[in-house]
Structures are given as structure tokens and as C-alpha cells.
Structure 1
Amino acid sequence: MHKKMSYDQVHWLCLLFFALVFRPGTAAEVSVWSMDINSTQDAVFRKTLYANTTIFMKFQGDSRRCNKSFAFNISWYLRSSVCYNEVFNTPDNKARNMFGMEHMLKDGWSGFYSQGYMYFDNCSSLLLPKVYYPDFNPYQPLTSPKSDPSNQSFFWSEKPDISAVAKAWEDSPYLFIVKVQPLFRGADDEAEGGEQSSFTFSMKVEMKGPHEYSSPADWPLMMFFMVMCIVYVLFGVLWLFWCACYWRDLLRIQFWIGAVIILGMLEKAVFYSEYQSIHYKGDYVLGAVIFAELLSALKRSLARILVLIVSLGYGIVKPRLGTTVHRLVAVGIFYLLFSSVEGVLRVTGGFYGTVALVANLSLSLIDSCVMWWISFNQLA
């Protein structure tokens, strides 16, 4: 807190800030989905699952408005893979074509699959909660693309819960595909087209495992953000203690350092609440996640500006920054802009688009310029 600071201390402060401003950035995985069904429909769900995670399917609607002329054939396909991109980066139209596939997409990969179907005589039977299977369907290994299908099966020995259809067999990324086929049972088959719109219900899919709705990707992050909340609180208490001890020697830049710590506490608290919501409810509030990403972008932008200000010697060996202020403001604004765009695209599902690529490249370029600026000022 003294006004004289060595260059070694400046280096340590720079390293501290860059250690605090980065965070693992991935969107949380939803565990509960609900969708309206009013025609033949295929649904694709993706998630990283723990072993023994149970997949539930529930159907909800108004039984008083049921059309007794419809039966329903609902089939599903569950596939695990060692390749993350096969599960999460395969477009929905290509993923639907994988329904019932018994082989791997490429040699050298591995995985397993399981499938089954359920037939309901009418929508009243569909909406009634029940145990769909006496035992979980067996899962089988995926074969090589050029080999014959394997008949080897692995059986479950336990009875499913109400509405349970499948269970994960290992920690892995999973692809879950559901086909809904309404079957018209009227005397006049031509009436099927006119009757298709006379039924509607909602299908709810839940994936619940050893850590409730948290996936192997989300559970460590929830622990990480909980620890970081505690760390930032300790930083805040320690910073207030130092400010109280050296209040006569405080510099303006030290108030901005306190602002970074406060923003860090808010950011980590919001992210922790997001993963807590995933853990207990299986879903999160998108607006809260976007708010946390914007807080994170603001905190990281301010932290980089402070690192540059300290490296320039402001308040230590220089009384003012002069014309350098405009360049500092430009760096902060550009970083805040691209960081906000990147964070919002990541949590809204557009992380692999062209705009996200431009934002990431811009952030890398700005960080490189910041590091070069710091090194140049230390050598000058």
C-alpha cells in the first residue's frame, strides 16, 4: 500500500491479475427438457452423464381432450461415445440419421448403444404414469464401420422406476434420440391427415444421476465457483483490512482494485447459483447467466486496464498518464465488447459461429497486445 513499489512487485501484481481474470468458459448442460408434440416428431438430446444416471420420459396433457382414434408408438435410442464432437457438434439432421445405428462413425472410436420402444393404445394410456419396462434394456458395443453387427449384450439386473426408460452405463457424452409416431386407428385411413392436428401433449425428458441433475462437466465447475466465491470473499476482507491499516497512503488505483474484487465476488456468486440451479432443478435462468457473463467481461476488462496502469508506473513513478489514457480506454472498450459478445454467444448456443470466431480471435489479439505493452514498458 506504500507509494513506492519495486518492479518485482509490479510483475507479481500483473501475474496475480491475469491469474484472476481467466475462468473456464462453457455453457452449463441442461438436464430437463420439455417440448410440445402435435405430429410425428424426432427429438435429439445431448448430455454428458455419470454412470447409473437414469433417463425419465413423462407425457403430460389434458386427458379430457384425448382423441381415442390415435395410438402412439414412441421409440428411443441412447448412444455413448468417446468422441465429444460426435455427440455435441453433430447437427440435429445428421444426428437423427444415427437412430438405430449399430456401428461407430470412424474406426478407432468406441462406445455403446441401447434402444427400445413403447406402444400406447390411446392418449389416456400415454398420459398415465407407469413403469414402462420390467427391466432396463440391455446395451451393446458399437461395432467397427466395416465389421458385422455384434450380438453381444450387457444386461441390467434392476427394475426401472416410474417413467424411467434407460440408464447410463459409463461416464461419457451421450446422444439420446426420441421418435414420436402417432398412429390413426380410424376406419377411414384418409381421415388421418385431417385428424393429425386434433391431438397435442408435452413430452418431458429428465436425466438424473448420482449428483442429482449435475453432469460430470458441471459438478466440478459448481465446486470451482463455490471455492472461488470463498476466495473472493477472503480477498475482499483482506483488502479492506489493508485499506484500513494504510488509509493515509491509499491511491486511486487501489479503489479500482477493490472494484475488481467486488465484481469478482458478484460474478462467481451468480455462476455458482447457476450451477446450483442445474444441480437441483436441471435448468437455469438464461437471463441470469447472460448477466454473469457481462459481469465477467466487465471484470476482466477492468483488470487488464489496471495491469497496464500499474505497468506504466501511474501513482508509483508517474503522477499522471497523459495521452496514454485514450489508448487505455480503447483497449478496455474493445475487450469489453468482444468479451461480452463471446460470452453471450457461448451461453446461447452460437459459440461455433463466425461471429464467435471473430470475437475469440480479437480477444487473443488484444491479450497479446496487452502482454507486449507490459513487456515493452518494463524494458523501457
Structure 2
Amino acid sequence: MTVSDVEALSPQALVKAHLERLPEPAKVDPAKEAEQIVHIKALLKKHNAAIVAHYYTDPVIQALAEQTGGCVSDSLEMARFGKTHNAQTLIVAGVKFMGETAKILTPEKRVLMPTLEATCSLDLGCPAQEFSDFCDQHPDRTVVVYANTSAAVKARADWVVTSSIAKEVVAHLDSLGQKILWAPDKHLGAYVQRETGADVLCWDGACIVHEEFKAQGLLDLKALYPDAAILVHPESPQSVVELADVAGSTSQLIQAAATLPNPEFIVATDQGIFYKMQQACPDKTLIIAPTAGSGATCRSCANCPWMAMNTLDAMIEVFDRADNEIFVDPALAKRSMKPLQRMLDFKR
């Protein structure tokens, strides 16, 4: 299949085509891993660079970011950290939209990624032109897009939000009498609509990881661990969210694990979060929520296969490659910055 063939696919087929092209994860060699970490630390110092890593990346990448003065956080804090850090180069260990956001907020810095192939089903499933056409069909609605979108989609929006402030922003807009056009995650959009009562029209997109969590499997697991609290990211289907003791963003779920008295937690989000969550509650047991099992459609259930592309091998080569720097057209960046700035101002 050629690049033009892939680009002509529907958003859902486009996601599937990208998944089929991903390599299988490599096996870990502990001795080699230790050597690579030493090497990467030296490279970061040499190039005055900092790693900005998402909670969903491999724990070894998160640990490396922490050990070298970088950041491990959600997408909003990743962007804010890069803006205030004194490093001249940011290594964004996450997916492409995170690198774009970092570049928009810090245009004066060099932004590299271990690989630009690391993308997101929500981003892939919301092509800019199709989304713009959808917005044109509903000119009476305020356009609110999730951070998990391209710079071009953000540029078409009135607001950008993360899952940590989505409810608050939509409730604010609803109080002003505004109707919402939401993209791209339909599950998160529906959750926000239920929580706020706002008039929300959703784009048809979903996260390949969170959509695989199943309510019946969650009930079966809860029967085995009756004292466990259920923590769910609202990108999950409604039937799963309704079983949650806490539904919230990655940072909110980590906070819940640290503060709730339960001895165990059943967690319905990417398993990469366990690294920071276990730090927050070292004496508690974390259990990954069940997915569709043999009927699952994701390549790596409970682990984003694109986040998994942020490997030590890729990090070793990050300064030598010519195809992994993030560039955003200045005019596009300027348009994208307006809804991003609204988000940052609202957060403050």
C-alpha cells in the first residue's frame, strides 16, 4: 500500500493501516539497557537537552527522564514544563501531537522525538480537512478539541482541552449559552456531556487502548478483588466509566490512588501509568482492567503501541537522525496558539 493509498482511507481504516505497519516490540537485554542509559545521559548533557515523557511511555523511559532532570507527566504538563525549562533541546517521548504542542509553545527551542512515526488513533482518526468540513456544517457551535489532535485541527478550534479540564471548560461554555462541537474522542465527549448537561455534538473517534476495556470483565475482576477501587480514564466506553469509583485524567487517577484508602486498584487506562502510580502508593496493589481478551482489536491491549515506539534504541539515535525534528508552520502555529492559550489561561 502506497502513502497516497493510506491517505485516501477513511479515518477508521487509516488507524488500522497504521497499526498493521508497526514493528513488533524488541526483547529487553538488561546489560545492553544499562549501557544505553549511561550513553543517553551523556548525550543529553552534551546537547543541553531534556526528556519530556508521557505517563504511557515505557517505565525505563520515564525513569530516564526523572534521573536526568526531565519531566514525566500528562500532555498539558509536558508542554508547560518544556516552556519553562532552560534546556535548548526538548526530547518529547510520547506521540507526535505532543511534539507539535511543545514546538508551538516553545518555537525558539529545538524539539526532537525518538520517532515521528509515533502517532495516536485519535489524531489519525480526525483528519484536518474532514474535520474542518464538519465544523463548517455546524457554524453555530463552539469548537472544542482534545489535545490529542494535530496542529491543523487545533488551528480550526476555539478551545483546546486536556481530560483534566474538559468538564470545567465545557461547563463554563455551557453557562454562557454556547453549544459545543467536540472532537475527536466520542467517549470522552459523551462523558463530558453527561457530567455537564451541555449540548455536545461529538466527532466519531476513539482511543484504540481505552475502547478495549469491557464492563463485564471489570465486574468479574471486581468480584475477585471486592476491596479494590476502580479507576477509569473517561476515554473508555460509558459502560466502563459507570463502574468507576474515580473517572479522570492520568494525573487525577494517580492522585486518586495516592489518597483513597483502598488496598488495591483496578486501573482502566494504559498500563504505562503504573510506574508513577506505584511511586504514589508503593504499598498498594495495582491491577490492569480487563480488555476484550481474544476478541480484542488492538495490537497491544492496555499499552499504546505508538507510545511503545519510544525506546532506548531510538533515544540513542535521537540527535543523529535527520527525520525526527518537529516543525510547525509559523502561520499554523499562530492559529493553533490561540485555543491553546485559552486552555493555559483557563487552567491558571
Structure possessing the higher relative contact order (Cα contacts under 8 Å, 6 or more residues apart): 1
TM-score, with structure 1 as normaliser: 0.24
Higher Rg of the two aligned structures: 1
TM-score by structure 2 length?
0.25
As a proportion of its length, which structure holds more strand?
1
